[in-house]
Structure 1
Amino acid sequence: MRARSVSALVVARNEAARLPACLASLAAADELVVVLDRSTDGSRNIASGALCRGGAARVLEGAWELEGERRNAGIDACTGDWVLEVDADERVPPELWEAVRRVAADSPHGFHRVRIDNHVGDRLIRHGWGGSFGTTLKPVLFRRGAKRWRAQRVHPGLDWTGTEGPPIEEAGIRHEVDRDISDMLRRLDRYSSAKAADLLEAGDIGSLPGNLRRFVSRFGKCYVSRGGWKEGGWGLLISLCAGLFPLLAHLKARLEPERHRTRSTPAE
């Protein structure tokens, strides 16, 4: 039986500081595809010089207003049997590549979730992520053709072909999610603005009471059910941000619609 090939996909915008480490961690891939969305820094030169088992990286440049559209463009450019989709602020350790190869060789499923090890600065924070503000499992390993992103700016939805297989949890992707607390709050501001644009475009921004209830339920789920309390003040902060994300998006769409109707995709 022919060995199943694995394409690594990275979609980025102005990530020259993070791309070298990310791309180096993908050298074990059979194919490396890098999508650059309106990058004006040194990202193109970095991506063009990256290598993997299959040779030089393939670089696709363009301009996409919606995150879902640019990610689909990257998926369409991949030719491997399986695709491992990562972001510029993520690193794939060798032990995870071993698990990816094993799953790709034997799995009858359409996709698998992979463990995400989230770091704020140098601190690993395992608990409390959720509510569209972070996750500890992501469906990033999938058969080519099994995954499509929807046309949204931030955290777009997914459509799948095939079944979900067991998660890969014996090793995880290292995610440099935020540099510090200020970086986390800037991300909350950036993502809630992009979500406000999605709400306005859909013509349904929801209600204030409904989003207040979402704040309470998301905070409670992250802080209690997902163990944010185990992380002390960090877990409290992450749970608050998870709850505030939909509430802030609603308030921006409601109070400042003229500022958010044409928001572009936030930088990763």
Structure 2
Amino acid sequence: MTLSALVVARNEEARLPSCLATLGFADEIVVVLDRTTDGSAAIARAAGARVLEGAWELEGARRNAGIEACTGDWILEVDADEHVEPALAEEIRQVIATSRHGWHTVRLDNYIGTRLVRHGWAGSFGTSAKPVLFRRGAKRWRDQRVHPGLERQGSEGPRLARGALAHYVDRDISDMLRRLDRYSSAKAADLLASGKIGSLPANLRRGVTRGWKSYVSRRGYREGAWGVLLALCTAAFPLLSYLKARLEPERHRPLQTLPGAATSAGMPDADPPP
């Protein structure tokens, strides 16, 4: 069984080299660059990756283009701020050699700066595990701007137990708050595109529920003050998204969807994915 490692990035020249350095166990590396203006393409090619460059308004369309560009029997989908630990790499090769399932979930070790925050990830602001290892054709993203939903084929296999994806999600608290701002703006665009932004009472309830889930159900309290901060951001996300859509629709209303045109620089001779 062959393995494709897929990395989707935008202007990540600072973090891309260390990410790619952990993917040498894969049979091929495909890097999708969305509206990238820095040196990421040269870095990826120097690491032996095949590069797909283009412009996609929707995160789901961008990731699907990368999946379609992969040729392996299995695909490992990672982000530029994630590193595959050696123990996980070894287990991935063992799993794809014998698994009869469609996909497997992998644990994430999430870092804020140098602080490992294991607990409290919930809702749309973070997760402690995700289905990033899957057979080609078993996973497709829906057309949304932030945290798109998934359509999957086949059965779910056991979660990989050795190692993790080390996810350097935020550099510091300010970076965390900037991410909250970006995510809520993208979600506001999704809400406006759907024509269903909800109501203030419903989103207040949603915020309280998600904050409780983060701090209590997902044991964010075990992280001390970091857990409080994470719960606050998790709770604020749905309310901020709603308020941006409700109070500033002219700023967040989505433009006409980009066609997702891509150039096949570094790709085999074939028509690029749509």
TM-score, reference length from structure 2: 0.92
The correspondence for 1:46, drawn from 31, 43, 46, is 43
The correspondence for 2:225, drawn from 233, 236, 244, is 233
User: Structure 2: how far apart are the matches of 1:74 and 1:246?
Assistant: 29
Q: Is the 8 A contact 2:192 2:254 kept in 1?
A: no
Matching residue of 2:149: 157
Matching residue of 2:186: 194
User: Structure 2: how far apart are the matches of 1:106 and 1:95?
Assistant: 17
- How does 1:1-268 map onto structure 2 within 5 Å? 4-50=1-47, 56-262=48-254
Q: Is the 8 A contact 2:106 2:160 kept in 1?
A: yes
Query: Which consecutive segments of 4 or more residues in structure 1 shift more than 2 A?
Result: 262-265
User: Structure 1: how far apart are the matches of 2:125 and 2:158?
Assistant: 23
Cα deviation, 1:27-50, whole Å, max 9, x if unaligned, reads: 111010000011001111101111
Cα deviation, 1:181-216, whole Å, max 9, x if unaligned, reads: 000000000000000000000000011100000111
Shift, 1:153, TM fit: 0.4
User: Structure 2: how far apart are the matches of 1:227 and 1:209?
Assistant: 26
Partner amino acid for 1:112?
A: H
How big is the alpha-carbon RMSD for the aligned residues of Structure 1 and Structure 2? Answer: 1.1
User: Structure 1: how far apart are the matches of 2:64 and 2:113?
Assistant: 30
User: Structure 2: how far apart are the matches of 1:220 and 1:167?
Assistant: 26
Shift, 1:262, TM fit: 2.6
User: Structure 2: how far apart are the matches of 1:70 and 1:192?
Assistant: 19
Cα deviation, 1:206-245, whole Å, max 9, x if unaligned, reads: 1110000011110111100111000000011111111111
Shift, 1:102, TM fit: 1.1
Shift, 1:168, TM fit: 1.1
Partner amino acid for 2:136?
A: R
Partner amino acid for 2:231?
A: S
User: Structure 1: how far apart are the matches of 2:57 and 2:161?
Assistant: 34
Shift, 1:57, TM fit: 1.1
User: Structure 1: how far apart are the matches of 2:253 and 2:21?
Assistant: 38
Structure 2: gaps spanning 5 or more residues: 259-274
Partner amino acid for 1:8?
A: A
User: Structure 2: how far apart are the matches of 1:94 and 1:232?
Assistant: 30
Matching residue of 2:272: none
Cα deviation, 1:106-129, whole Å, max 9, x if unaligned, reads: 111100110000000111010000
Matching residue of 1:53: none
SS at match of 1:70: helix
How high is the sequence identity, in percent, across the aligned residues? 70
User: Structure 2: how far apart are the matches of 1:226 and 1:73?
Assistant: 33
Q: Is the 8 A contact 2:86 2:163 kept in 1?
A: no
User: Structure 2: how far apart are the matches of 1:18 and 1:95?
Assistant: 21
Structure 1: gaps spanning 5 or more residues: 51-55
User: Structure 2: how far apart are the matches of 1:159 and 1:262?
Assistant: 24
User: Structure 2: how far apart are the matches of 1:140 and 1:230?
Assistant: 27
SS at match of 2:164: strand
